[in-house]
């Protein structure tokens, strides 16, 4: 097992990519704290992990609020004694996406959950990782940060900021045996698209997905389990000499098919 006796916090772990990573880590021997904004989804995934024979705890917290993040980390340390791995996966998009239609509130909300939340979680866990002279931080960005498929100014700005956060922290924390890397998923079949497509008809939605598939050199969308495989590499000792990297996981994107 690649993660035997490790403890991980996975934010946004109730569905999609986060759930895929949580289950993959548990399969490899990791105990997992599943974070989500609402407890019901997190508890369901925590139950799946316990059924595998691993320890798990569901914790509801808004990662954009420092007090809630600090409480989540404190509860994890109290119950599990350490934090070896942090996966900053919580994110989302809401509101209008074009520059002139983006309100101050939309901008603040999307930057908050996608970028500020990652900063707050890193700030909270790093002192514990430093104490143990060990840590793996995995920040989930997006291929949209470097190759936008459509104008989504607040979301892509936040995900671009994640890349800056990753490289800066990798440099700062390397001396403490803490690695910091990013994953840039391409189009993945998750609930993420529910919000984006809520105003489309069924036929329009099918056309949208077909358009995405045609843009990908592999001519298909990815699955959460495929991003989980990349996360497992970065969380394990297979990547012990890798830090400050941003790994594209988009079926060949941004290459042109």
pLDDT tens, 179-198? 999 999 999 988 877 766 77
What is the value of pTM for the model shown? 0.94
HSE-up (13 A, CA, CB side) for residue 125: 35
Q: 189 to each of 167, 194, 209, how far by Cα in Å?
A: 28, 10, 9
Q: CA-based angle 180:184:186, to the nearest 5?
A: 165
CA dihedral 160, 163, 164, 168 (to 10 degrees): 170
Q: How far is CA 232 from the centre of its chain?
A: 12
CATH 3.40.50.300 fits 7-249, yes or no: no
pLDDT for 198 equals 73
Q: Pick the closest to residue 116 from 162, 152, 71, 148 (CA basis).
A: 162
- Domain ranges for the chain, please list them: 7-249
Indicate which residues carry an active-site annotation: 155
**Could you read off the pLDDT of 64-91 as tens digits, one per residue?**
999 999 999 999 999 999 999 999 999 9
């Amino acid at each position: 097992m690649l993660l035997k006796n490790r403890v991980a916090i996975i934010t946004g772990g109730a569905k999609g990519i986060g759930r895929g990573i949580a289950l993959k880590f548990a399969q490899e021997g990791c105990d997992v704290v599943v974070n989500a904004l609402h407890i019901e989804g997190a508890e369901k995934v925590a139950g799946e992990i316990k059924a595998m024979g691993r320890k798990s705890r569901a914790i509801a917290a808004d990662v954009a609020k420092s007090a809630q993040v600090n409480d989540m980390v404190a509860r994890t340390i109290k119950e599990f004694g350490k934090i070896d791995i942090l996966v900053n996966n919580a994110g989302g998009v809401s509101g209008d996406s074009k520059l002139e239609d983006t309100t101050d509130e939309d901008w603040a909300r999307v930057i908050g959950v996608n970028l500020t939340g990652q900063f707050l979680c890193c700030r909270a866990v790093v002192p514990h990782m430093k104490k143990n002279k060990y840590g793996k931080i995995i920040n989930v960005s997006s291929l949209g940060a470097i190759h936008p498929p459509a104008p989504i100014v607040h979301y892509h700005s936040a995900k671009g900021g994640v890349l800056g956060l990753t490289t800066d922290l990798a440099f700062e924390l390397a001396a403490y045996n803490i690695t910091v890397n990013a994953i840039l998923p391409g189009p993945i079949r998750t609930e993420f698209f529910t919000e984006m497509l809520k105003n489309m008809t069924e036929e329009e939605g099918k056309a949208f997905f077909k358009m995405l598939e045609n843009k990908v050199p592999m001519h298909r969308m990815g699955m959460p389990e495929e991003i989980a495989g990349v996360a497992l590499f970065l969380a394990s000792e297979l990547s012990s000499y890798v830090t400050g990297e941003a790994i594209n996981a988009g079926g060949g994107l941004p290459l042109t098919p």
